[in-house]
Structure 1
Amino acid sequence: MTEGQHRGAQAPPRGPAHGSARDRLLAAAAECFYDRGITGTGIDAITAAAGVAKMSLYNNFAGKDDLVLAYLHARHEEWLGLYRRRLAEAAGPRDRVAAVFDAYTDHAEMAYRHGFRGCGLLNAAAELPAGAPGRELVRRHKEEVEGLLATHLAELDGLPGARVAALGEHLAFLLEGAMARAGLEGDSSRLHRARELALQLVDAAGSAR
């Protein structure tokens, strides 16, 4: 078992949680939306998985669209939690860049009931119409990830600002491409490889300055 797999096994479970009806509905939605897609999951399936009455859903959310937004926000916060845990262990800028990739790997290695299917945020965005609030939320998440990469690259001594922006974009593209392939292949090996390639680029940028 790799370090990433060990860390992924510690991540929060996907199944319906104990606690309030809202918590159970969010946990059920997270599992159902990820496994079956948003359009493939009806309200009845979510309330049944959560073990609550349908009225409980409408007592906590304005409707399915509101639940979808809450689900996307929860996935964003979940990723941030994984990233912050990795960041806390980082010894310098290079490790902080790696922390972004490691957080994606940790997400891929969580215990998905029906297997890993790629980035849940992008999967959801692909089902939503242009202009939907959920797509905007996903766009902001991806921009934040690229911004984090650029922030850590800027901490490298002597790396010019233009190079920081270009390399940050390059690493973001590398990360998203690896995530797409990992989702298709159902495992995290592409993400481990992307991490290696990213650090090679970081090291090359550092030696060239």
Structure 2
Amino acid sequence: MSRPTTASGRSGRPRGGAREKLLAAAARRFYADGVTATGIDTITAEAGVAKMSLYNNFSSKADLVRAYLEARHEEWLGLYRARAARAAGPREGVLAVFDAYADHAASAYERGFRGCGLLNAAAELPAGDEGRSAVRAHKEEVEQLIAGHLSQLLPDRADEARTTAEHLSFLLEGAMARAGLEGDGERVRHARDMAEALLDRL
């Protein structure tokens, strides 16, 4: 069975220090099996490090979960920035957000694509948990990225830009939820087509 290397769980065993190995192992197991079902012993065995190494790098499992969520956020930003760098203008900038999600869905996962890893983790965390706040901040940042591109596309229609950004973020999140249930990125690609049609009507 192939083993992932990045925060999203892609193939290959990681290299590096204990912290990097632990984060990569946590990413694989949290995404494939869930946060609650994954214990410390499983993570340290997967990482190939001593249990004490975990506590030398993270104060608790909750601290490791927060680091995992931050790593996933940064990974998605990397996908978005790579797409945005090739965008010819604000219209393409909006679509770059959808493309980044499609890239995420198209990655190779140990047990298949299960949707947004951030939302999956948030669903397991109690109300008020710092991890849920981190996921909320990520989703708000995604919407703000869309809104920023739309504000350039519609410089004299600020209210419409904000409303459309919210509309598109709902479209994107709904597509990701369905894609996770169906195990592939087809819904995300369809959502991109819908977003493109909407942008053409602005």
**C-alpha distance after superposition, 1:1-55 (max 9, x if no partner):** xxxxxxxxxx983554111000000000000000000000000000000000100
User: Is residue 149 from structure 1 mapped to residue 146 from structure 2 by the alignment?
Assistant: yes
Correspondence for 1:46 among 43, 58, 68:
43
Instruction: Please give the root-mean-square deviation of Cα atoms over the aligned residues, in Å.
Output: 1.3
1:34–1:120 CA contact under 8 A, matched in 2: yes
Q: 1:12 to 1:68 in 2, by over 3 A?
A: closer
Could you list the structure 1 runs, at least 4 aligned residues long, displaced by more than 2 angstroms after superposition.
Answer: 11-16
Contact 1:14 1:30 in 2 (8 A): no
State the TM-score, normalizing by the size of structure 2. Answer: 0.94
User: Out of 165, 175, 180, which is 2:177 matched to?
Assistant: 180
> Of the candidates 58, 67, 78, which is equivalent to residue 70 of structure 1?
67
Q: Distance in 2 between matches of 1:15 and 1:121?
A: 22
CA distance change for structure 1 residues 58 and 15 in 2, over 3 Å: closer, same or farther?
A: farther
Structure-2 separation of matches of 1:145 and 1:123: 17
Match of residue 101, structure 1, among 80, 98, 103 = 98
- Structure 2: which amino acid aligns with 1:174? L
Q: In the superposition, relative to structure 1, how do residues 12 and 180 fare at CA in structure 2: closer, same or farther (>3 Å)? A: closer
Alignment length (residue pairs): 195
1:200 to 174, 191, 197: 197
Distance 1:86 1:188 in 2: 17
Q: Which runs of 5+ in 1 are unaligned?
A: 1-10
1:159 and 1:170 map into 2 onto residues whose CA distance is 19
- 5+ residue gaps, structure 2, are 1-7
Say whether the 8 Å CA contact 1:15–1:27 is kept in structure 2: no
The answer for the alignment partner of 2:83 in structure 1 is 86
Once residues 9 and 65 of structure 2 are traced to their aligned partners in structure 1, the CA distance between those partners, rounded to angstroms, is: 19
**Identical aligned residues as a percent:** 65
Task: Work out the CA distance in 2 between the residues paired with 1:80 and 1:163.
Answer: 25
In structure 2, relative to structure 1, the CA distance for the partners of 1:12 and 1:48 (3 Å cut) is: closer
Q: Distance in 2 between matches of 1:12 and 1:45?
A: 15
Q: What do residues 149-170 of structure 1 show as CA deviations (whole Å, max 9, x unaligned)?
A: 0000111145501000100000
Partner of 2:17: 20
Residue 175 (structure 1) shift: 0.1
The CA distance in 2 between the partners of 1:12 and 1:119, in whole Å, is 12
Q: Distance in 2 between matches of 1:158 and 1:202?
A: 14
1-structure distance, mates of 2:106, 2:97: 15
Supply the AA of the counterpart residue of 2:59. A
Corresponding position of 2:131: 134
